Amino acid sequence: MSTRKPPIALVTGACRGVGRGVAVGLVKAGFRVHATGRSIALADLPEEVRRLSCDHLRDEETDKVFQTIEADGGGLDVLANCAWGGYERMVENGVFTWPAPFWEQPIHRWTSMMDVGVRAAYVCSARAARLMVPRRHGLIVNISFWATQKRVGNVLYGISKAATDKLTSDAAEELAPFGVTAISIYPGLVRTEAVLAAAASGAFDLSNSESPEFIGRVIAGLYSDSGLMKRTGQALVSKYHIQTQNRQVLTWLSIYGYFGARGRVHRQPQGMSSRNSAIRTVNRIRSQKPGQRNDISARGLRCS
């Protein structure tokens, strides 16, 4: 009988949406999961999840979370930065305001995307590094999106996701000598509660969407890959996971390679017969002119 201890993960923003899905997915993959959120006590999560109430706009509450994890003595293996408020209040007074011009955007979206999203990821990454670096082991995952590469409906959205990817790439360089990996993951269109509500008003087509738990499965696969450090600093795409499964989850993720400054795919994956087609698809998305549709249904990919 194996006595190996389960890896320990912290998932921020796990009350709902992608964060909740990541927590559920990691529990199913055998992780011991700590989950944070302002209303985490009320979240629909497995009983195995340790709930830590936290408003990540308050640094003292974030510090308390990491002090609790450190006091447990088991260290921290995975940090999944999922705290995000950018999809809150997408529909206001019956109007879908999220894609409005930036000069018409309510200022609360800056706080929701830049503070609840980017700043929280930065602070949590710094706190996690203090636990991971001495052990020379760990994985930090930031949830990002295609908006870092081209405009996707909202100026603030692009700013926040570009900042998230820059956090990933620069932090990866500083963490690499200590054996800690940092990666951005681009989900597809995820059926979060906010997205489902917006879809009800006709804002989204959910025919090519994915479940929130899916990203948790992807992170578990990343963590188990022995060559993970080769991916550090990269932005990886999750959507091809289901459609091309024949190896490890890293092969599925890497089918789109990674992106350079101009959004072109630079690395081609190994062992995939459809790799060139996938790369052409991503580069075609990158070269679209403003106003063109941002979905490529033949490849099972949405950039909404």
Helices then strands, each counted (H, E), the chain:
9, 11
Point out the catalytic residue in the list 157, 186, 223, 240: 157
Give CA–CA dist 232/180, Å, rounded. Answer: 8
Give how far Cα 111 sits from Cα of 35, 55, 163, Å.
22, 13, 14
Q: Is 157 an active-site residue?
A: yes
DSSP state of 102: G
Task: Output b/e per residue, 246-282; b: 16+ Cβ within 10 A.
Answer: eeebbbbbbbbbbbeeeeebeeebeebeebeebbebb
Write down the H helix ranges in the chain.
17-28, 59-72, 108-110, 120-132, 155-175, 193-200, 213-224, 249-253, 275-286
Which residues have a Cβ under 8 Å from the Cβ of 15 and sit 6 or more positions away? 37, 38, 39, 40, 42, 43
Residue 267 in tokens: 């690395």
Our measurement of the distance from residue 177's CA atom to the centroid of its chain's CA atoms, rounded to an integer in Å, reads: 24
Other Cβ atoms within 10 Å of 60 Cβ, number: 8
As beta bridge partners, residue 237 has 186
Give CA–CA dist 124/149, Å, rounded. Answer: 24
Q: Residues 142, 81: contact at Cβ < 8 Å?
A: yes
Cα four-point dihedral sign 119, 120, 126, 127: positive
Active site positions, annotated = 157
